[in-house]
């Protein structure tokens, strides 16, 4: 017997099919997103209702994105509606995008910071189940998820941290930082906190992002810089920011931070050659300040489009320099 879907009107303008040149159809006018939740019990999978697309298969809670909605927002919203996934118990890890040009599907991978019991929230699920990683392949998987699962599985344990040589990053731009070293460090900390929330662009592909831990090393007078140390904080806030206040040499504090065991890749942001040699001996990767500053600048442009578009007063006198 054929099971028909409930006759419900579209809930949002994004709830519509997109047709490809070859006639294939993809759900989501603005693309779609799914949430891959990974916890101690395995990964959270949804047994799809028979009337749904590829009904009867196992896949991820998710669906069409709303207009103007990011992939993360869409995936978390859909998982909350369909499976009762609590956003406050999630920590972002990375995204993986399948992009056809005219349509895309983004898998948002998160870690569950605490165990929770999923609950069916609508007619799209037959069952929700925590499936041990080694048993996922034994299920009849949604074709799209089945194709992406091997690469996703290989990255589930992925962790990364970025150790920031704050003095070197700030000193790389002659923007007057020497007049207010403390303030310059606090501004850098605030910008890194915003970047940790939206994620760092993956190498070679600006579409995908990952959420590392930032260790910001402060030295000298900058040790007193204020900022929110969010290390260990759960929730959907992206990466973690930890302030490392050097008792003596900032370089020595960076080396000690890199030497501290960490279950993943470490990248140090500095242009100091001697420091580069020291941390590379410990297995760290090194990038120059421009790499992180470019990402911070791009984030500033996105966050303040109105300000960047607003015309500046043409005859306004320039204010006195701050000293």
What confidence score (pLDDT) does residue 322 get?
33
Q: Is residue 312 part of a domain?
A: no
Q: Where are the alpha helices (DSSP H) in the chain?
A: 71-83, 143-155, 166-171, 181-198, 250-259, 273-281, 289-303, 305-309
What confidence score (pLDDT) does residue 303 get?
78
> Count of CB atoms within 10 A of residue 274's CB?
8
**Is 59 within 8 Å of 46 (Cβ atoms)?**
yes
Distance CA 321, CA 323 (A): 6
217 plus 255 within the same structural domain: yes
Residue whose token pair is 């303030």? 183
For residue 100, give its domain range.
17-155
Q: Is residue 128 part of a domain?
A: yes
Q: Is residue 264 part of a domain?
A: yes
173 plus 290 within the same structural domain: yes
147 plus 215 within the same structural domain: no
Strand partners, 49: none
Q: Is residue 110 part of a domain?
A: yes
What confidence score (pLDDT) does residue 240 get?
87
Radius of gyration of the chain (CA): 23
**Is 110 within 8 Å of 117 (Cβ atoms)?**
no
Strands 160-165 vs 265-269: parallel, antiparallel or unpaired: parallel
Distance CA 309, CA 237 (A): 28
149 plus 196 within the same structural domain: no
Picking from 127, 155, 183, the residue at the C-terminal end of a domain is 155
Picking from 135, 155, 175, the residue at the C-terminal end of a domain is 155
Contact residues for 279 (Cβ-Cβ < 8 A; gap 6+): 163, 254, 255, 258, 266, 268, 270, 286
Distance CA 226, CA 221 (A): 12
φ, ψ at 201 (rounded to 5°)? -65, 135
Contact residues for 117 (Cβ-Cβ < 8 A; gap 6+): 84
For residue 63, CA distances in Å to 49, 60, 192 come to 14, 9, 31
Report the CATH number at residue 280: 3.40.50
For residue 15, give both structure tokens. Answer: 């709830």
Residue whose token pair is 């005219």? 102
> Count of CB atoms within 10 A of residue 118's CB?
21
Positions of the chain with pLDDT lower than 50, given as ranges: 1-9, 232, 306-323
**Is 289 within 8 Å of 169 (Cβ atoms)?**
yes
Picking from 106, 136, 155, the residue at the C-terminal end of a domain is 155
For residue 288, give both structure tokens. Answer: 């120059």
203 plus 288 within the same structural domain: yes
**Is 276 within 8 Å of 267 (Cβ atoms)?**
no
Q: Is residue 247 part of a domain?
A: yes
Q: Is residue 12 part of a domain?
A: no
Distance CA 53, CA 34 (A): 14
Structural domains in the chain (count): 2
219 plus 299 within the same structural domain: yes
99 plus 166 within the same structural domain: no
Segment (H or E) for 184: helix 181-198
């Amino acid at each position: 017997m054929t099971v028909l879907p409930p006759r419900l009107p579209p809930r949002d303008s994004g709830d519509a099919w997109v047709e490809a040149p070859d006639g294939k159809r993809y759900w989501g006018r603005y693309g779609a997103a799914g949430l891959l939740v990974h916890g101690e019990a395995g990964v959270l999978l949804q047994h799809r209702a028979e009337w749904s697309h590829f009904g009867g298969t196992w896949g991820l809670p998710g669906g069409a994105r709303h207009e103007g909605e990011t992939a993360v927002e869409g995936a978390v919203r859909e998982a909350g509606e369909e499976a009762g996934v609590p956003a406050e118990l999630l920590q972002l890890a990375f995204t993986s995008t399948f992009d056809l040009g005219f349509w895309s599907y983004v898998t948002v991978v998160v870690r569950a910071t605490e165990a929770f019991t999923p609950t069916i929230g609508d007619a799209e699920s037959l069952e929700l189940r925590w499936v041990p990683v080694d048993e996922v392949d034994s299920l009849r998987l949604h074709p799209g998820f089945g194709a992406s699962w091997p690469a996703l599985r290989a990255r589930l344990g992925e962790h990364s941290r970025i150790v920031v040589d704050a003095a070197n990053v700030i000193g790389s731009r002659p923007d007057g930082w020497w007049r207010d070293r403390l303030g310059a460090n606090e501004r850098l900390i605030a910008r890194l906190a915003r970047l940790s929330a939206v994620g760092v662009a993956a190498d070679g592909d600006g579409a995908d992002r990952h959420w590392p831990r930032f260790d910001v090393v402060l030295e000298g007078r900058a040790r007193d810089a204020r900022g929110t140390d969010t290390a260990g904080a759960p929730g959907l806030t992206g990466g973690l920011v930890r302030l490392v206040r050097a008792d003596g040499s900032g370089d020595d504090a960076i080396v000690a931070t890199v030497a501290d065991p960490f279950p993943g890749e470490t990248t140090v942001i500095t242009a100091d050659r001697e420091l580069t040699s020291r941390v590379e001996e410990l297995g760290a990767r090194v990038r120059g300040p421009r790499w992180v500053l470019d990402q911070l600048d791009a984030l500033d442009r996105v966050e303040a489009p109105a300000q960047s578009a607003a015309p500046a007063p043409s005859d306004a006198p320039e204010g006195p320099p701050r000293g």
